[in-house]
Structure 1
């Protein structure tokens, strides 16, 4: 087996060597620890691992620059004064005329310098930067150009070298994300050392696609981003420079696009393997006579929607099949997912087995238990971290002995001490809050367990293919009859008094009101402080009982507050986003969301879904900062125009780019980290088609006997290893 990108030592391996082994060995230089890079000590290695969010050299190379600074144009000081705005990057040639030491503490050292056209002051706060510089030296400097009155200044230049060494200033300078204690010079040195370790593996992208997209090779893409070559044609006139800048920008974009596609493709190949693995596993066929379902539906007392009937038929077909079910049930707010899940669970019980439903919070789990216990004609058990002592022992015994046919709970169902008698179906609600590994742990509780995951967050196609690509999908896009629309309105915070007057009238009429306080980035403590302050302010204006619910309360206290609101003891509930899912209070008819511009559209839609569940007309008031601008206001306007969660989810994904739709990175899923600034939708579609085509072409045994196919398998294994997706097949399906 000969291939130009594989080292001789790898090509000398025996022909029967597994492709994965070949790929692993050939990638050893970049899968080695970051600490193995020469010249990087333990302290900086730790900081680099933190930035890379991983231990490997390739993890560091996947920390892509957030920007590239163009330092190629050398301007005179006169040109800089005429052409550049303060804060722009200036690269220039100057001669030192004076070195001035500070006369007061905390004042900077200054180098006065000039060219034939003007003067500039270079400012430094550390004397070490002046070492080796003398009056009369000719320097190349590059940094942020500023004006202090009529004086040109450059505070702490990024580069200051002798004119003879001007070639050491990069013409295109990457700007990497850093962390405290990690300097740009250290990051640059580490990146260059890492690039020196990199050799392009066999190409995993079809040549026709590479040509059509004008993409560089994998290695060239990383080289282009981290160590971009000098632009050609500099100094040959402004038009030539402009064209060259456009060419350079296009190269940068194509390199980023290529790497984003690589990450999408790694995901899709991994998920495609998971699907094929699932189809090859023996399962169990679950069927029943329908008697338990009929009784549950009689207790429910309403007709199923067409979407519910369709989803149940799809689930029943999976349950009856001899292979394990892996299905996602996604529906809009109030579409009736819990009932569909219960009917699926009763089919498992009719087959003589057990079924379990797991929710991410005590509030949601206890609400599911109340619904299931009311409708199900079989014994149900509730298990969570708050179930203690004798009650816990009894619950565990009922689960292990099989007396508990339906089990509802939280993360507690993961625990080793929880042993099921015969778990045939696991239902996981709000799956994005658990992740692949935890899902697999619950699936492992039973022999050949079928898995149904649910989400109340409608998911655009792109995320379906990336985060849920291992699952078949049932979609509830129809709400039960009688569900009233929620009128949504936008209000600037400057008009808060008018809003409060309206809330007073609502409270006097006997209605109940949710008041959701703003998200304060990366600080749950500040979120809670904002909620407590708002509750105090509202208590001064309204003569009614006001509750408070937030994530720092212990579970019992938070449930007491929500139960007080549910019973009507409190008319107004001030809360953080703990009420986003799982709070069902039909009498609540008004939702006020403060600083709505700080929330994602999908999250706002979820919060709005807490009202409109009863007979009364319902309203959602979005309060926004007056300074958000037209784009921010247009974003919120979408919520006023539609209640279709699927339309909102798609728009939210487009606005957030490669970020996570729900605001929660999926535990056990690395996420698409290289897609920022790239339109991922066409890339994911292309990667999905490529992964399916690759998987269906030939079996592994056939590939081993065909040299070209064997190289393709080595290439695919290399891709999965580089993007740390080579273990996803094992994670995707328990067993």
Structure 2
């Protein structure tokens, strides 16, 4: 798609931050860390609170409020020792107000503000004994500079060496440089939503006069969120349309896949059959497929992918890439049996393969003697060549960089893509993460799975939990024991996990293993392998338990301080047990008292094991912060859009983007040209390499 150079109207916003007054060599790196390298990034910084100042007298002053007084300077009181502050006594006709200054600069104050001078002073009013005082006033100025004291002052994020007030000055200057841009939003939608123009919205965000102005639900905040969502959705819709124009080999459903499915020891669930039908429709269409297969851990995504690979193996090859060696090995064990029994050769390629064995696998792929490759990122290395790669399947796709996914797909011509994810994303957010993919959901569990009995137990009953654990482990069951990894210092958490492992060894004997984030990959793999082989009875882990590790014998999951985990995370952890046919249990240990939100979280887990319902509830309960672990699951780094507060705008932006691409694919109409400015403004272009989903 042709994209012109950056529009000239945006040049002032793309100027480096050093073009702002007062941003020199010392300040630039600090401001860049806070906002980014260009003026636009400073313009997009938002205040997090607002200080309201009112004019008052000492007799009407309110403790704890930020107020402005007009005073006359009465006396200076020097400190008796360096630890004590300077006190400046002032009087405003109604009472005495003390100004308190710590540090050595009290002496300079007297020269600037001599006794008898009239001054404006503003700051937070406190009571000290019988008197009122202000410690380190925000403002201490001559009367003729009243205009310098804002009645409403937006408070910006700050960083060491760069106070909030200085950041505010830079943000105000960036705002003064913001140009009037052509309107890119649909006029009827603007009226319906009562949105201000782009520039008015920015002025409102930077000039709040109350807490309500800071809310993500204010018209200005919603307007900017919608702009950002539309820019992103438009880029994804364009990319999707572009991919559709790439011809790809048309592949039909095969007799071979039907035979493999008939030989499986179970029937596919309805959801698996629907997902397979979606994939087959795409494969037969002759256009490049980009489909996401989303389903809870254990919903049977790999089997659906395997049947698609069987369809391809008549004339082409498939590759299945997983983020870790353990997962790759597990996928290999799931699919190599059924495929090889029907004459399809599968090879496993990981970083461990060396020498002659590796060379043999590479030769089989290059000559087409092997039809399916399963592996880690070892698959996209340069020396791996396929005779005819037609389908790439990527598991937990958000854990691979874009470049890695593209390098695998580039090993074939117009390679079809199936991305698999076990992280349930609420339907309302699906578009923001997977807007350029078609989505199939597997929302049923295969039969034969026993539901996991979930209960919440206070930490005071820890001894009972340990005793019960000893009982089942002696009977040959296995258990996970998860310790949280969320305190300020990882080392503190690590110590807690090590201590818990030692304590459990004392209770249960030596078969207690430990994995944590500070271990190397091979170390972790070795412990996990021992656990999978049954050499370890209880595995203590910080939250690094590998997504997808299958230990059918593990029937107990204990999660310590469960109230510190997000809902989606708790659900993922619980999915590690109940893989076999034995009764399984999940114990949520918590420190009372629980907050209302934590209580609701633990309740919903007890009531349901539907990952999509849980993810949707998580979003509703989310009180800010990143409870969903959205960043990990590939949620874009939006500036203005908030996934919980702006859910309704996400769907609207998706519809708008599809309509625009349908009517004006090259953005040549008047609105189209304005939309090109919008995409440049937010840096969401179809070709943005950093923001591609494959």
Deviations 1:614-640 (A, max 9, x none): 122111111122244223222221111
Give the corresponding residue for 1:8: none
Give distance in 1, aligned partners of 2:216 and 2:75. Answer: 42
Deviations 1:472-497 (A, max 9, x none): 11111111111111111112223323
Give the one of 90, 97, 100 matched to 1:123: 100
Residues 120, 153 of structure 1: 8 Å contact kept = yes
Give the one of 592, 600, 605 matched to 1:639: 605
Q: How do 1:429-440 and structure 2 match up within 5 A?
A: 429-440=395-406
Q: TM-score w.r.t. structure 2 length?
A: 0.92
Give the corresponding residue for 2:367: 401
**Cα shift at 1:281:** 1.7
**Cα shift at 1:19:** 9.5
SS across alignment from 2:654:
helix
**Cα shift at 1:538:** 1.6
Give the corresponding residue for 1:60: 42
**Cα shift at 1:466:** 0.5
- Over 3 Å counting, the alpha-carbon distance change for 1:501 and 1:196 in structure 2 is same
Give the corresponding residue for 1:712: 671
Give the corresponding residue for 1:365: 328
- Over 3 Å counting, the alpha-carbon distance change for 1:296 and 1:115 in structure 2 is same
Residues 215, 221 of structure 2: 8 Å contact kept = no
Q: How do 1:417-566 and structure 2 match up within 5 A?
A: 417-521=383-487, 523-566=489-532
Give distance in 2, aligned partners of 1:620 and 1:40. Answer: 55
Give the one of 274, 277, 285 matched to 2:250: 285
Give the one of 293, 302, 307 matched to 1:338: 302
Give distance in 2, aligned partners of 1:120 and 1:389. Answer: 83
SS across alignment from 2:480:
strand
Give the corresponding residue for 2:61: 80
Give distance in 1, aligned partners of 2:602 and 2:633. Answer: 29
- Over 3 Å counting, the alpha-carbon distance change for 1:108 and 1:292 in structure 2 is same
Give distance in 1, aligned partners of 2:236 and 2:469. Answer: 49
- Structure 1: state its 5+ residue gaps: 1-17, 232-244
Q: TM-score w.r.t. structure 1 length?
A: 0.87
- Over 3 Å counting, the alpha-carbon distance change for 1:580 and 1:653 in structure 2 is farther
Give the corresponding residue for 1:270: 235
Residues 470, 732 of structure 1: 8 Å contact kept = no
Give the corresponding residue for 2:23: 40
**How many equivalent residue pairs?**
688
**Cα shift at 1:699:** 4.5
1:415 aligned onto 2:381? yes
**Cα shift at 1:295:** 3.2
1:220 aligned onto 2:204? no
- Over 3 Å counting, the alpha-carbon distance change for 1:502 and 1:697 in structure 2 is same
Give the one of 381, 391, 403 matched to 2:347: 381
**Cα shift at 1:471:** 0.7
Residues 19, 717 of structure 1: 8 Å contact kept = no
Give the corresponding residue for 1:28: 11
**Cα shift at 1:270:** 0.9
1:652 aligned onto 2:615? no
Give the corresponding residue for 2:220: 255
Residues 9, 179 of structure 2: 8 Å contact kept = no
- Over 3 Å counting, the alpha-carbon distance change for 1:151 and 1:590 in structure 2 is farther
Give distance in 2, aligned partners of 1:139 and 1:388. Answer: 80
Give distance in 2, aligned partners of 1:723 and 1:283. Answer: 32
Residues 390, 413 of structure 2: 8 Å contact kept = yes
The CA RMSD measured in Å over matched residues stands at 2.8
- Over 3 Å counting, the alpha-carbon distance change for 1:61 and 1:290 in structure 2 is farther
Give the one of 647, 657, 673 matched to 2:639: 673
Give the corresponding residue for 1:13: none
Deviations 1:663-711 (A, max 9, x none): 26369874223134962111111111211222222353xx64xxxx2x3
- Over 3 Å counting, the alpha-carbon distance change for 1:297 and 1:453 in structure 2 is farther
**Cα shift at 1:286:** 1.8
Residues 204, 213 of structure 2: 8 Å contact kept = no
Give distance in 2, aligned partners of 1:390 and 1:126. Answer: 73
SS across alignment from 2:22:
coil
Between stretches 478-487 and 32-41, larger displacement belongs to 32-41
- Over 3 Å counting, the alpha-carbon distance change for 1:684 and 1:668 in structure 2 is closer
**Cα shift at 1:582:** 1.6
Give the corresponding residue for 2:71: 94
- Over 3 Å counting, the alpha-carbon distance change for 1:521 and 1:209 in structure 2 is farther
- Over 3 Å counting, the alpha-carbon distance change for 1:662 and 1:297 in structure 2 is farther
Between stretches 180-189 and 261-270, larger displacement belongs to 180-189
**Cα shift at 1:662:** 5.2
**Cα shift at 1:251:** 11
- Structure 2: state its 5+ residue gaps: none
Deviations 1:87-128 (A, max 9, x none): x43343333333334333344333333433443333333445
**Cα shift at 1:20:** 5.0
Between stretches 691-700 and 148-157, larger displacement belongs to 148-157
Residues 78, 117 of structure 1: 8 Å contact kept = yes
Between stretches 658-667 and 274-283, larger displacement belongs to 658-667
SS across alignment from 1:376:
helix
Give distance in 2, aligned partners of 1:619 and 1:509. Answer: 15
